[in-house]
Amino acid sequence: MAMRRFALLAALALSSPKPAAAAVRVVSSIPTLGSLAKEVGGDRVEVQSLARGYQDPHFVEPKPSLMLLLNRADLLLYVGLELEIGWLPPLVLGSRNAKIQTGELGNLDCSRAIPVLDIPTIRVDRSMGDIHPQGNPHYWLPPANAKIVAREIAQRLSQIDPSSAATYQTNLAAFNDRVDAAVKRWQPMTAKVRGTKVVTYHKSWTYMSQWLGLQEIGYLEPKPGIPPDPDHLFRLIQAMRAEHVQLVLAEDFYNLNTARLVAEKGGAKLLDLPTDVGAKPQIKDWFTLVETVLKQLSSSV
């Protein structure tokens, strides 16, 4: 009896592959990638995210319930550059989903075409903190990178679901046009912040600094993953005063007491900024995300 029930359940599991007309099930590690997939996939995709937008993407608990989402996914999108290395691999293995294993069509490392910054040029070791050997993974905010990721996703969706390839290409073109229009619309804000001297909590604003021409004077963390200590902050505050740093930037998922104190003592203003779709309820897509960041930046300088 038990065996028959097992066989029945196994048969149910087997019969789960979607009919041709069903939407492609996309699961993204962080919501912004899912949001970009929605832009190019439209109603041809169903999107879910493992992490929440208000969560530090380094620190997601690998809860087994997330394996269920991955188990039913046709396409897994992740940031790559080892951002999710602390939690995603056991989930992918535990998902028992052949389609999304590395090397498969349903596994897309979204960094694959990104011009990566902060690649170490000397031999790294852990005395430098939790250093990232492959470069900085916080690349998804600048428009140029968003376009690259959208293009990669459209390409992959077209391979997984060739019958809708034309739709994906149309949507991608429309997305690119909207990005160009947004960049034009944002021009007064981006021009205003150019050259602003900033201090950031993590070295996670490098790509935005490159796009916007911000000057990064220092970081609250003495080394990646190592908590701030008084000596380091003391030197940082001295540097902030000497350089007339205007802003301290920190992601909104941190406890900002230390950052607030450093900003105050260094004569700068603290901005706690969203970095992901869903960080706040009104941030529903990549456009509102970037616009929110730009508004906060430009209204503070």
CB-count exposure of residue 162 (10 Å: 0-12, 13-18, 19+): exposed
What would the two tokens of residue 234 be? Answer: 């003391």
Shortest distance (Å) from residue 298 CB to another protein: 25
Give, in order, the Cα–Cα distances in Å from 243 to each of 61, 238, 268. 39, 9, 11
- What's the CA gap between 292 and 182, in Å, rounded? 12
Phi and psi torsions of 247, nearest 5°: -135, 145
223 in contact with another protein (CB under 8 A) = yes
Nearer to another protein, 48 or 134 (CB): 134
- What's the CA gap between 129 and 300, in Å, rounded? 32
Shortest distance (Å) from residue 236 CB to another protein: 9
What would the two tokens of residue 178 be? Answer: 């909207």
In the set 40, 198, 203, 277, which binds another protein (CB under 8 A)? 203
- Residue indicated by tokens 């960094």: 111
177 in contact with another protein (CB under 8 A) = no
168 in contact with another protein (CB under 8 A) = no
> Per DSSP, what are the bridge partners of residue 26?
47, 75
Q: Which stretch binds another protein (CB under 8 A): 22-30, 36-44, 130-138, 283-291?
A: 130-138
Give, in order, the Cα–Cα distances in Å from 224 to each of 128, 173, 205, 208. 7, 38, 13, 18
Shortest distance (Å) from residue 66 CB to another protein: 9
Q: Which stretch binds another protein (CB under 8 A): 19-27, 134-142, 164-172, 185-193?
A: 134-142
In the set 8, 18, 89, 174, which binds another protein (CB under 8 A)? 89
Nearer to another protein, 44 or 203 (CB): 203
142 in contact with another protein (CB under 8 A) = no
Nearer to another protein, 83 or 153 (CB): 83
CB 179 within 8 A of CB 146: yes
- What's the CA gap between 23 and 74, in Å, rounded? 9
What would the two tokens of residue 209 be? Answer: 């600094």
> Per DSSP, what are the bridge partners of residue 27?
48, 76
- What's the CA gap between 74 and 132, in Å, rounded? 29
228 in contact with another protein (CB under 8 A) = yes
138 in contact with another protein (CB under 8 A) = yes
Q: Which stretch binds another protein (CB under 8 A): 96-104, 154-162, 188-196, 280-288?
A: 96-104
86 in contact with another protein (CB under 8 A) = yes
In the set 1, 20, 21, 122, which binds another protein (CB under 8 A)? 122
Nearer to another protein, 55 or 164 (CB): 55
Which 250-269 positions form the footprint of another protein (CB under 8 A)? 253-255, 257-258, 261, 265
In the set 222, 272, 288, 292, which binds another protein (CB under 8 A)? 222
